[in-house]
Structures are given as structure tokens and as C-alpha cells.
Structure 1
Amino acid sequence: MRTLGAEIDDTGGMLHCRAARLRGREIVLSLPSVGATENLMLAACGAEGTTSICNAAREPEITDLQNFLNACGARVSGAGSTTVVIEGGHKLHGCTYTVMPDRIVAGTYLCAAAAAGGTVLLQGAREQHLATVTAVLREAGCDIVSDSAGIACVCRRRLRAVRPVRTAPYPGFPTDAQAILMAALLRSRGATVFEENIFENRYRHVDELARMGADIQVSGRTAVVTGVETLRGAPVRCTDLRGGAALCVAALAAEGETRIAEIGHIDRGYERIERDLRALGAEIERIE
């Protein structure tokens, strides 16, 4: 943002941003961050001249944002590649636009079916957006088919361990699905290795899963999940958004009642997760 001409004061734990005018520049990201790419795209639409974002994130959400901005009158190109180009200064207008399905929510409900057993049909979900997740679930023993209508997942037997799961920028395995898949594999036959390559401190959910009887050993960026015969319901708390969703997935596979506290984390990324899981047959309720 500063490269575009913004003045940003980050003292006191707050961000105060202002700019008399923004000017297009070439910006090279040190990491292909989704949030950084999206915010730069938005800011560049209001800047004078052309902005090029190099080493941009390639996630489907970037392409979706480009399509939305162009529908509003912007001129953005290159989304889905490593370079996004924005021609700033064009007047924007309103539009009617359908946002893409949430691929991490879709992955969560597929993992829920894998953990608890049964069948789920996700209408409108697009497998091309989460192919790395469905590939692992197939390897674990789930039957998954997809078409233009959505994704169907059937799991009628105990899962088996899979080859090492390594998180990576898109199109690699998404870090946001790491905790959720881990929860689905807690009762699998054998051991699965997870390697977290995007964020630090991404295993905060492990201690909470251990309260339910999970066997997980963590060393640095690596976690080894050894499947157990039985998980037990327990009082647990959300440590973050995806970790909270992982607790819900694990609770579906556990015997007895699980109480999940601090669910505000989950609400950041799911619209009434208990409603959707209840529709799939789960015995779940929100206690205000």
C-alpha cells in the first residue's frame, strides 16, 4: 500500500491509512498472499495508472474478485496467474454478481462425512477448486463423484492413513483444510504425516483434539496422526477458525457429547455450521 502512495501508521496495534492519491506501481510480493493480493487489487482500482502485482496469489477467490471488479467497470486481468494487472482510474458502478461457492466450507462438510460415515451431496460445489482435498479423501477410502450439480461423497468404512499431506500455495493442498482433514483421519488405520509450510503455530487445535483421545505428535512444522479406535466426547475450546471447524468434525466421530466453547471463531467463516451439520443428520445445537 505504501508503494502505491498510502500513508500507514501502525503504532499502538492499530492501522491508520490515508492517501491523497494513489499511483500505480509494480509490486512484488514476498509471499503469494491471498489477503495481500486482494487488498492491492482493490486499492489499485482507485489508483492512477497501471499496477502490476507480481508473485500474486493464484487461488480461485482471486479470479472471482477479478470477475466481480470487471463486472463493476474495472479493468483487471491476469488473475489465476502469478501476475495481476490493474488499470486504475476507471469509474465503477454497481452490478449483480454471484459469488463462487466457499471451497473450504465444502471441504469441511466432505471431511465431516468422512469422519462420521455416510453420504453428503454438496450442491453447487466445484471439485476443481478443492481437487487436492478430494484426492486425499479418495485415497483414505471415500467414494467421491462430481459433476456440474456438485460433489457427492460416500464413506461407509473406517478410513485408512494416506501419504504425507504438505500444505502449499494454490494449487497445492490448502492450509485452511489442514486441521479439518486431520480431524477426519483421527480414527484412520495407520499413521499420516502432516507438514505445514504456510503458517507458523498452525497446530493449536492439536491439544484440544488430544482431549478427545486423538494420538498426534507435533515437532516443528510436522504433525504425525496415528489413528485410534475410539474418540471420546469432551469439553474443548476453539483456538482459531479452522481449528474450531476441526473440533466439530472430530466431535461427529466421537462417542458421547462434546461441548465446544468460544465458537465465535467458527462464525467468522461459517454461516450457522450447526444448521448445516444438523441437515446432514448430526445431533448438534448451539447454546447461546
Structure 2
Amino acid sequence: FPSVGATENVILAAVLAEGTTVITNAACEPEIADLADYLNRCGARIFGAGEGTIRVEGVEKLSACEHTIIPDRIVATTYLTAAAMTSGSVRLTGVDCRHLSSILPLFEEAGCEVRRLPNEVILETSRRPLPIGLIRTMPYPGFPTDAQAPLMAMMTMARGTSVFVENIFENRYKHAAELQRMGAHIKVEGRVAIVEGIQRLHSAEVAATDLRGGAALVLAALAAEGTTEVGRIHYIDRGYDRLEQQLTALGAHIKRLD
């Protein structure tokens, strides 16, 4: 099964190894190609990154370079979900819509208006989301497992039932129990989660169980009645830069407590 982390680590090990290393069944995520672009700028010889087979010809040393990393597609998904859940709008700049090709159509299926512009995406909606019948996590270019938790938070308020199938990681629904504390109707059986949307979530004290699950709880809190307290936010800080400040700039009433 292709693995992003495994592919990245083998590339890193092979760059300075003697001889040629061939990686088969490699992950194809954009982050793999970006890592290879960076290393090649440093003097590495990596071929086929972003495809199923990668060849790495070892070099003796690497040199310094300048490189701009690609936009974070999961962070972009998080902000799009925040707008979709609160019947609002958001304009994201510095976005590569090609990397969101499996995600943006789901927002459209949920009834949002999505406009794709060069390096920008605009999402607008004025109503509760429509249900998304089936969401399957798959390796790239399929729907990413890291976007599953934010989309589940959105579907807790949809006008119908949605089904999630998690094909990448086991035990990936820890956030479901916390969303249930906010009134969500979620039933989990193995790799399948059935989400029956309700009109409104309510406030509760919840705790992040992982990075994306923590973000999902913040999103749910934005759309819930009352004041919600999200604990263990060190998980969230692993993948978001000042999430509360970004959301405040969009109009959210959110603050970090010491």
C-alpha cells in the first residue's frame, strides 16, 4: 500500500546512498514531488517523483538552495470547510486547485458555490450543507484521509445522511466520539462511519485526539450553539499556524486560553 511517510523517508535515505535506488509502489502525493524538487535543487538526482516508480541516483553531497514549499491542501480544505459550515464565504489565495481536485467537487455536491481562479479558490454558501452520499479516503489523487475529519464535521449538520469509508488508516474516527458530545449523530462500524445530519450542534467541552480531528472540533464549535471549549490543542498546533488568528480574521469568535 503506498505510504507518503515511507516514500519520503526512503527518498531521504537514498539521496546520499551509493548507487541507484528504485522505489516501486511509491506514493504520488504533491508533497512527494515537492520534496524531490527541493532535493534536486540541492544537487540530488531524483526521477519520477509524483509517479508510482521513483529512481534515485545517489550523490556524494548536497548543497544549499532556495525553495518555496507548495501550499498546504489540507489547511486550505479546513478553511473552506469553516465557511461551508457557517453558511459563509472565504477567498483563499496562494492555492493550487490541482491539488484539491478530489475535494472541491465534494463542496459543490454539498451545495456550495466554488470558483476556481489562478492560484485562488472562492467558496460561498448561504444554507446548511447538502449530504454527500459516500466519501472514500484513498491515496492521491483520491480523497485524502487528512480531510476526512473536517468533512465529517461539516456533514454532522447536513440535510441528510452521509457515509464515510476510511481506507488509509485504522482507528481514524476518534473525533467521532467528541463530535457526539456536541450532539452529532454518528455511528461507527470498523472503517465505516454513518453520519446523520442534524440542524444544529450544541456546545460542549471536548478534547482533540489528533491533528485533523482537533481541527474538526474547532470547525464544529464555530457552527454550534453556545461556547465550546476544545482541549489538548497541542495536536492542532502540529499542523496549523495560529489557527485561531486566521479564523478570527474571517469573523470567528475564538480565542486561545493559557
Same fold (TM over 0.5): yes
Partner SS, residue 132 of structure 1: coil
CA shift for structure 1 position 147: 1.5
Q: Take 1:125 and 1:278, find their aligned partners in 2: how far apart are those partners?
A: 20
Consecutive unaligned residues of structure 1, counting only runs of 5 or more, are 1-30
Counting only pairs closer than 5 Å after superposition, residues 10-49 of structure 1 correspond to structure 2 as: 31-49=1-19
Mark the structure with the bigger radius of gyration.
Answer: 1
Find out whether 1:82 has 2:52 as its counterpart: yes
Match of 2:188 among 218, 223, 243: 218
Partner SS for 2:103: helix
Instruction: Name which of 100, 111, 121 aligns with 1:141.
Output: 111
> Counterparts in 2 of 1:175-214, with a 5 A limit?
175-214=145-184
Q: CA deviation at 1:89?
A: 1.9
> What is the CA–CA distance in structure 2 between the aligned matches of 1:130 and 1:53, rounded to whole Å?
26
Contact 1:49/1:88, CA 8 A, preserved across alignment: yes
Q: Does 1:237 align with 2:237?
A: no
- Structure 1's consecutive aligned runs of 4 or more residues displaced over 4 angstroms after TM superposition are none
5+ unaligned residues in a row in structure 2: which ranges?
none
Question: Which residue identity lines up with residue 128 of structure 1 in the other structure?
Answer: R
Report Cα offsets for 1:4-56 as digits up to 9, x if no partner: xxxxxxxxxxxxxxxxxxxxxxxxxxx21000100111110110010010000
Aligned position for 2:81:
111
Q: Does the aligned pair in 2 maintain the 1:73–1:90 contact within 8 Å?
A: no
TM-score by length of 2: 0.98
Number of aligned positions between the proteins: 258
Q: What's the counterpart of residue 143 of structure 2?
A: 173
Contact 2:45–2:59 under 8 Å retained in 1: no
Aligned CA RMSD, in angstroms, stands at: 0.8
* Pairwise CA distance, 1:149: 3.2
Distance in 2 (alpha carbons) for counterparts of 1:224 and 1:253: 20
Whether the 8 Å CA contact 1:142–1:155 is kept in 2: the answer is yes
Q: Distance in 1 between matches of 2:121 and 2:74?
A: 13
TM-score, normalized by length of structure 1? Answer: 0.88
Aligned counterpart, 1:56:
26
Q: Does residue 151 in structure 1 map to residue 130 in structure 2?
A: no
- Greater RCO, CA 8 A, separation 6+: 2
Quick one: distance in 2 between partners of 1:43 and 1:131? 31
2:133 maps to: 163
- Partner secondary structure for residue 205 of structure 1: helix
Deviations 1:59-100 (A, max 9, x none): 000000111011111110101110111110243111111000
